Structure 1
């Protein structure tokens, strides 16, 4: 495994608990949109504490970008990342990940599970290939939506927000369940991209397979 020490060029919160990190891009370093790497903080007590985070920038950019949910309720890696700012150093490793674009379809994301899809959408939008894709994005409240304005600009009417703990006029206030999928997806003979917590992915993929989706058409993290 090759490790690269990279400097944090910028860091800022994009929601109340999600922080964006812009870091140096090592020479020759590349990824496929949707992929991730393991990241740690380059200080003695944290450098071996690696966690997986997804690239969210266009692969053509001269920097790398991550959007990371910060958990302040315990003294873990993301809590420390919440205190990490421009000028600090991170360690990034080899690229990995099974999530990548395989053609038009329905993207279903829960919370910070949107992050693998951001680089995919940005690439498709740049190449004017967004029209046949749809995003169903579930969050607890509207305050938890990551990049809502940008996603709305890219996907337009194909961007659907659901809030599980808040009723907002004009938006659906419910969870994604089997009935919701039946009511809102016309064609189950297409690609489905699913990312979120392990329970979220397990339940959504279970519903989809039950509704006749070919397992080979499901794109999830292994």
Structure 2
């Protein structure tokens, strides 16, 4: 990956970006480089990890844009690529489940759940999180869940920032994503995925659409 490629990836991570462009920029970086020392190997590992984080955010920005245009089918390849970057990241599996459901393909949504479940069991000997299980149940049946299955639903919006400051925007979105990840660890909360909550311009718009306060 050249410096120019890294600049494009950083810009895409801040968004907006087309999902196809995000996919192209998410190619594995710094391939073909053989480190000649432990120090060089540590540096290469750190650079690749940073590029993967940027690629994940770029793909999420591309998915958000497609969803805002009501194009879930166009978002699917980017979501698949996002899952491919880290197959153990449950948020990516849940996003794919939601995209399949948005296209009316409940069977594929359930197949994605099974893929997530089997991957976690095989690689980590773990079961899916309560959030993933709750999403699976909500997509498996059109009926409302029983009353005692209700949990607090949370959507984390990006923090307010200066619109003409891309660094502030990147920081605000990063903080919102970190908060979303941490809240998702609590079984009492059902946390909306960031690409989904980002479809709403403001918390007020989200509340009106969901009929909540």
Greater relative contact order (CA < 8 Å, ≥ 6 in sequence): 1
TM-score, with structure 2 as normaliser: 0.30
Structure with greater strand percent: 1
TM-score, with structure 1 as normaliser: 0.29
